[in-house]
Copies of this chain bind each other. A is one copy, B any other.
Amino acid sequence: MAGDVRVEQLQPQLASSGIDVAVIRVPENVLFVTGHFVQIAGAGFVVVPAEGRATLLVPEYEAPEAAEVWDGELETFPVIRNDRPSALEVVRERLEALAARHRNGGTVGYEGSSETLAPPAQAGEVNAVARPTQRLIEEAFGGAELTDVTELLEATKAVKTTRELEKLEIANEVAGFGMHAFKEASRAGRTEVEISAAVESAITVEGHGYRGARVVRGYATIYSGPDLQHGWQYFRSRPRRVEPDELVMLELGTLVDGYWADHTRTVVAGRASSAQRAAYEAVREAAAAALAAAVPGATGGDVDAASRATCASAGFEQFPHHTGHGVGFRLHESRPQLVPGSTHELRENMVIVAEPGVYRAELDGGIRYEDAAVVRPGGAQMLGGTDYDLD
C-alpha cells in the first residue's frame, strides 16, 4: 500500500514537534500521504495523528479507488447532491470525532504556508488552505492551537519512495509521447498553437491507460523564431506560423495521476545553423553535467555551478535563470533549488530537473533543454527522455 511509508515517516516528526495530529487538505499532500489523487480540489482530507492510524476522508464515490492504494482508516462524505447533509457538515462531524480520538494536549498541524499548488484531477479549479480551512480545523478541534506543518511536509516530500519513483517514471514516459509529437509537428507552416495542440493530444490519447494511467493532462507551450531570444521568460503559444529553419521551443508540464513531469525541448524546423548546433551541444552538455553533479551530499549550488562551468567552457554563457529544481508532486517543488549559492543538500531519491538555456540574437532565438532524473550516488539517473536531435 502507498500510504504506510509516508505516515510512518511523518508520525515521529509530528510527535517531536509537539503536534497531536495534522489535518491535511491540499490535494498534492493528500496524494503524498495516502497515494490517493482527489478528483475535486479540497474534497479530500487526511488526518495523521502522532500515534495510531491515520484516516482518509473522501467523497463517497471515490472510496473504492482510494481503498486500492490506502489501507489506513477510510471514511466518506457526500458531495454534489443537495438532498443529503452537506459535505462540510459531515466533514466537520468526522473531524470532531477524530479530534476526540487524537487530541492529547498538543497542537494541531495544518498547511498554513501552502501557497504554491498543483491542480487536482479536475484541473480548472483549485482549492487552497486559507482562513476558512483554518477556522474549520480550529472549531472541529475545540479551539486547539494550530501549527504550520508546510515545511515539514515539503522537506519529507522531496525524497521519493520506490512507488513514487515508478509513478514519476510513468509520468516522464507519458511526457515522451508529447515530446515526440512535438518533433513531428514542428515544421515550417504550422502555427505554434497547432503544435501545442498536437503535443497535448498525443499525451491525452496515448497517455490514458499507459501503465495504468487514469488522469492524464499535458500543459504544452510553444514559442518560435527570433522572439526566442527572450525565451527565458514565460511565453504563450501564438497563432504565429513557423518559418523554415526557425527554432521552435516546447515547454511541457505533464500530469499523470497526480505526479508531474517537467520538460523543455528545442528543435529547428528545417536545418540548424552551425551557431545553433554549437549552442545546442553546449546546453546538452551543461544539462548532463548538472545531472552528473547531482549526487547525495552535493548542494543545489554545486549542481548549478557544474552546469554553468560546462556551458562556459563550451564558449556560451548559461542564462541566469535557475539551472533546475525539485519536481514530482508539482511542477516546481520547493526543494532542492538548483541556483547559485543554494545550500539545499541533495539526497538519494530526490527527483530534479536540469534546464540550462542560452538565449542570444546571434542564434536567432534561444535554446533550452530539460529532463528529470533521480539523485543517486553515481550521479542522477534519467527518467524517460527522447532520442532525437536539434534538427
Contacts and interface: CB of A to CB of B under 8 A. Distances in A.
Contact of A237 (B61, B129, B132, B208): B208
Given A130-B113, A215-B236, A321-B82, A255 B204 contact: no
Contacts of A116: 41-42, 125-128
A230 B196 CA distance: 33
Interface in A204-255: 204-205, 208-209, 214-216, 219, 221, 230, 232-234, 236-239, 253, 255
A130 B118 contact: no
A154 to B, nearest CB: 12
A38 B319 CA distance: 23
Nearest to A234: B39
A112 B130 contact: yes
Interface residues of A, number: 69
A42 B129 CA distance: 15
Contacts of A234: 39-40, 80, 121-122
A123 interface: yes
A39 B251 CA distance: 14
A330 B232 CA distance: 29
Contact of A204 (B117, B200, B214): B200
A15 to B, nearest CB: 23
A320 B121 contact: no
Interface in A121-150: 121-133, 148
A191 B129 CA distance: 36
Interface of A: 39-42, 61, 80-83, 111-119, 121-133, 148, 191, 193-194, 196-198, 200-201, 204-205, 208-209, 214-216, 219, 221, 230, 232-234, 236-239, 253, 255, 260, 319-322, 330-332, 339-340
